[in-house]
Amino acid sequence: MNPSKKTDSAIEIDSSSRSEWQEPPSLTLDEHGMICDCNKAGEKHFGYSRKELICQPVSKLLPELSEIQLVKSGQFNPKIGFLSRCGRSFQVKNRLGGIFMNNLHFVLLGYAGAYTIRVILHP
């Protein structure tokens, strides 16, 4: 058996059966709900550049979060976590004013007493 043929066919099989992984749209927020970062998929999803979103309130994109305190005393708001785990859809607003529904996943990240929240959208 020719090892190069085996390698070639393995590569061929692997590349043809593998689907392209795409990073989901996501935002990073500070504990006060201000956008600190947005990935490329988020830029495409919302229709804004990363630069335009930084330092903007998350309510610009997720209006339902405008009245909700995300973090209190280092703890993530359990109501949002519960709704997210239950699969509740949240309203999402894009640059053109279009409103659509997305499931959200929240991850609380803490370092040296500072907290950020990663919001991952599941369109």
Q: Residue 9 has what pLDDT?
A: 47
Please give the Cα distance from 49 to 39 (Å, whole number).
9
Please give the Cα distance from 7 to 89 (Å, whole number).
45
- Which positions of the chain have pLDDT values less than 50? 4-7, 9-11, 13-17
Domain count within the chain? 1
Is 33 inside any structural domain?
Answer: yes
The enclosing H or E element of 19 equals none
Is 114 inside any structural domain?
Answer: yes
Is 118 inside any structural domain?
Answer: yes
Is 17 inside any structural domain?
Answer: no
| Domain enclosing residue 44, as ranges | 23-122
Is 7 inside any structural domain?
Answer: no
CATH of the domain at 60: 3.30.450.20
Q: Residue 36 has what pLDDT?
A: 97
Cα 100 to the chain's mean position, in Å?
Answer: 15
Is 13 inside any structural domain?
Answer: no
Listed in order, strand segments (DSSP E) in the chain are 26-30, 35-38, 71-72, 75-76, 89-93, 99-111, 114-122
Query: Which one, of 78, 117, 115, 85, lies nearest residue 103 by Cα?
Result: 85
This model's pTM is above 0.85: no
Reported as a single tens digit per residue, the pLDDT across 54-86 is 999 999 999 999 888 888 777 788 888 888 888
What six digits make up the tokens of 79? 């109501």
Distances (CA, A) of 34 to 2, 40, 80, 93: 58, 18, 16, 16
